[in-house]
Each structure stands twice: as C-alpha cells, then as structure tokens.
Amino acid sequence: MLKTLSKIGLLVPALAVGAAWVLVLRLKDVPVPLLVAYGLLLVGLLVGLLWPGVLGRLSTRRRVLAFLGVPVGLGTLGLYLAVVYYVTDLPVLLVLAAVGCLAWAAAALLRGRRAAGGRGARHTRRAFLLGGGGLVLGVLSGLSVSRVERQRREVLARGEQERQAAVRAPGGRRRIADDTVRVFPIHTGDTIVTYGQFYGGPDGWEGLNGYVRTLVDKTQIAVPVYAYLIDHPRHGLLLVDTGVNWEQAHDHDGYYDHNRMVSRLLTQRDEYQMTPEQDLRVRLARLGYDAKEITTVFLTHVHDDHAGGLRYLPQATVVVDRRDWDHGVLYPYSFDLVKDNLSFPAFDSGAFGAFPDSQDHFGDGSLILLPTPGHSPGHMCVLLRMDAGSVLFMGDTLYTLPHLATGQVRQMTLGGADAIHQIEAARRIQHLLASDPATVPLFAHDNTHYQSDRVASAFAHGTPGKEGLRDLRRHMEAVHTPDWRLRPGHTPRFVPPASGTGSGRVEFR
C-alpha cells in the first residue's frame, strides 16, 4: 500500500509538469491532434515506468523506455526546437549536454573499476570518450556566449538602421508651436488575438471558460495598437499609452526572456507585428517631435501592449493607477527604466458626471483621469479638453466603437466582480458620451472604419475642429441607436482567411 501511494505521489506532480508543458505548447499554437498524440505517449511513459505490468505481461521498464521513452524524448526535443528554442538557450543547452556527458563518464568509470578484464577496460575507454566530449561541449558553451551576444547585437543594429531610414524618408513634418491643443493617433503596430477574445464576450468568453477557449479556438485576427500624442501648449508633450516597441515585434523571445523564460513560454512569438514606420520613435520624429521631449505618460493600464514603448521614455513621469501597479499583469522589464518615475493619482477631485471619483491631473480641468476597473484592476480612462470639444481615451475599457453596444459586443472579461466592474465602467462611459455631444471616444484597438478613416482624417493635423468632432459624433450615431444598440450593418462577423491558415478578418453586417 505504501509503495502504491509513493508511486501515486510521483505520478501526480509528473502529470502536473506534463500538463503545464502541453499548455505551453498549445499557447505556441501547436496543433491539437499533435498535442493529443504527444500527451498520450507522455502519460503512457509515466504510467509504464511506475507500473510496467499495466502495459502487458512482457512489459519491463527497459522496454517502456525503448518504445515510449525514445519517441517522447525525440518529440519533446523536436517541439522545443520548433516553438520554444531561442538563440540565448544555446550556451545553456551545451552546458546541460556537457554535464550529462560528464555524469555518464563518471558512472562508466565507476563501472569499469568494479568490472574485471576486458569489460572493465571497455567501460574505462567509454568514460574517457564521454569525459572528453563533455569537456569539448563545456568549451563550446563558453565560446557560444559571445557569439549569441554578437548575434543579438546584429539583430538590434539592423532594426536601428531600418528605423533611421524610416525617419529620413520623405514626407516628414515640422512641429507647429502655437496655443492649440493637438492630438495625434500613433499606430504602433498590430497584435494577433483570438476573434472571440476580442468580440465574443456575450457568447461565453468570460473567466476561466474564456481562457480555455483561447487555447482551443484559434480563429485569430490582427488588430491595431494605438498610443496617442498630446501636444499641449501649457503642459508640454504627453502620451496616452505607449503601444509596443520594436523588440516586442522583431526580437520577441529576446525581449520576453528577462524573467527566467516565464513570459517567453507563455506568449506567442508572432503576437505583435510592426513595420519600421510604425516604431513609436519614428512616428514621433515624422510628426516633428522627439521621444526625449515627452514629459508625462498616462498609462491606462499596465498590460504590455500599452507599456512596451516605455523603454524609449526613461525621462517621462508615468501616471498609472496604483491598483494596477500593485495587482495588474505587468512585465517588469518594460518598466525597468521608469519604475522610479511613477505617479499614482489619488482620485480625490470628486465626482465627474456618472463617475463617482475622478482626478483633475493638472488642476485646471484640462485633463481628467477616470477610474474604469474591470479589464485590469486599476484601469483608467483619460478625458482631454481640446479647443473644439473633448476626447475620451478609452484604453481597453472598450476595444472599438461597436463595443459601446455592451449587450451585443464585448471583449473577453475576467469574470466575477471584474466583469461587473467593466460593464459598470462601460455604462458610465455611455452616460458621459450621451450627456456631452462635444465629446468623442478614441480607442486603443479599434479595427473599424471609425478609426482607420474618420479618426485618421479628423486628427491628421492634430486639430479636428468642431466640424471634425461633429463628423465623428455623426458616425457614432450612425453605428448606435440612442439606447446603445448596433444599427444594421455594424455587427461584427469573423471571416476565415482564404488560404485556410493565418489570421482572418472582420466584416460588419
């Protein structure tokens, strides 16, 4: 009985580790049928090693290792090399191989001393060969460190060359210095998400069930990632969010390798896409600005598709809700250069419309911070007063204009109280927009014509004017009824890719 309990005690953690590994592989988009076959072999190996007789009367642990261990080992190595391996792993792999050879050599040497005659000599020769191989692998590991570092420097250098070429390309602007408040949408690339995660909230994409569905359902779409530059005559250059940075898109595994591989294992290599022209520093330079001039960043929340650009802004003060800093899902490396520059709003400026709390950041009513928890524990929206009206930077409270119809379109929510808080925040935003016809919403991930056509046109020069804001409001009213229902022609629908692989697209009916 005790022996059986001991085996079960070994089996349970082994299965847990195996399940975690299979989960990582699924996050890396390894096909489900392949994972099922691999998982069955893995379970068979574990059970066969602990209870060989389960697999047949003639089964032994040696046979289990031969017929199941070898395929599982080769499969694990192949999957690792295909979807997990990154060049910085090379020195570590060589060290592990060296240690393995030396351990094997030591075991062979001990067996050689115990054995007599020719058999002992064979073990001794094997020990020396393995030991020599281990030493060679150890030397190669040391030599590979500099090679790996050089390769990464070359990747970053190519990126810098592309960035400089994009900055120098014809068509750049000069900054206009006057008393006008200007806002510029900054498209910093795209992120690949599951369609249901983006649009399927009312269809059960919520909480644990939603996360499980993201593992199984890979109907993916590409959506934009926007930051917003504010050129304010009194308060200087400000940013709302910072988007993603070049490394996240082009050296993803290298960027997410700063917390013992955890983030690298739990993210997809191709989750971000960016052209050289979409680099935040390039976009700012093309508009006549310099990233070094940014004084303040208002971070709607700490998720990395909003915080990646902080790596370019070490001088900026970062305003973020303390609840998000303390409890949100953040990647510390993105904040390394600004972690001493954080400012936490107190939200002690009283009620603002339907919002019970707010923060008048500058004390002059020009910029109001509004707590909108739900998507993240301390998510907040930013309201900016412009000359002709106001703009409300939504962050991820609502992804797109159609998401204002919360009963029909909703992104995946965390479930429980967080889902309730997010819907409450959306209701308050609806009330704010309905009560102030001079306020327009600006989104971080809008993939509709509202963003690509209307917002891009209205804010092409940073100053939409009254007519530009009225056009955005007219479009919003053409999409929604007064009670925030979608009008015909604006309900999202997933369209699979024509090739059957890759990302699909969204059309509205």
User: Which of the 8 DSSP states describes residue 367?
Assistant: E
* The model's pTM: 0.92
What's the average model confidence in pLDDT over 223-244?
Answer: 98
**b (16+ CB within 10 A) / e for 102-131:** bebbeebbebbeeeeeeeeeebbebbeebb
Determine the pLDDT at residue 55.
Answer: 74
User: Which of the 8 DSSP states describes residue 405?
Assistant: -
User: 277: which 2 tokens?
Assistant: 């022209």
Q: What is the β-pairing status of strands 359-360 and 505-508?
A: unpaired
Q: Output the CA angle 162-452-278, nearest 5 degrees.
A: 15
Q: Which helix (H) or strand (E) holds 384?
A: strand 380-385
What's the average model confidence in pLDDT over 16-40?
Answer: 92
What's the average model confidence in pLDDT over 218-236?
Answer: 96
H, E, C per residue of 229-274 = EEEECCCEEEEECCCCCHHHHHCHHHHCCCCCCHHHHCCCCCCEEC
Give the pLDDT band of residue 215 (cuts 50, 70, 90).
confident
User: 36: which 2 tokens?
Assistant: 């099922």
Determine the pLDDT at residue 210.
Answer: 85
Three-state DSSP class for 447?
coil
Decide: 400 and 221 in contact? Cβ < 8 Å.
Answer: no
Residue 319's nearest CA partner among 374, 240, 404, 377 is: 240
Determine the pLDDT at residue 118.
Answer: 65
Decide: 46 and 286 in contact? Cβ < 8 Å.
Answer: no
Q: Which residues contact 409 (CB under 8 A, 6 or more apart)?
A: 199, 201, 202, 400, 402, 403, 486, 491, 492
The number of residues in the chain equals 509
CA–CA gap between residue 301 and residue 318 (Å, rounded): 11
Residue 105's nearest CA partner among 143, 135, 74 is: 135
Whether the predicted pLDDT of 90 surpasses 70: yes
Determine the pLDDT at residue 308.
Answer: 98
| DSSP secondary structure letters along 165-195 | HHHHSTT------SS--EEEEEEEEEEEEEH
User: Could you give the count of Cα atoms lying within 13 Å of 443 in the half-sphere of its Cβ?
Assistant: 24
Residue 203's nearest CA partner among 507, 504, 509, 493 is: 493
Three-state DSSP class for 88?
coil
Q: Taking phi first (over 0 means left), then psi (-120 to 50 degrees means alpha), and beta for anything else, what does residue 508 get?
A: beta
Give the pLDDT band of residue 52 (cuts 50, 70, 90).
confident
Determine the pLDDT at residue 505.
Answer: 94
User: Which of the 8 DSSP states describes residue 415?
Assistant: -
CA torsion through residues 314, 316, 317, 321, sign: negative
Using one digit for the tens of pLDDT, what is the confidence trace for 150-199?
998 999 999 999 999 999 999 999 998 889 999 999 999 999 999 999 99
Decide: 108 and 114 in contact? Cβ < 8 Å.
Answer: no
- Which of 29-38, 372-381, 440-449 shows the lowest mean pLDDT across its residues? 29-38
Whether the predicted pLDDT of 117 surpasses 70: no
Give the pLDDT band of residue 206 (cuts 50, 70, 90).
confident
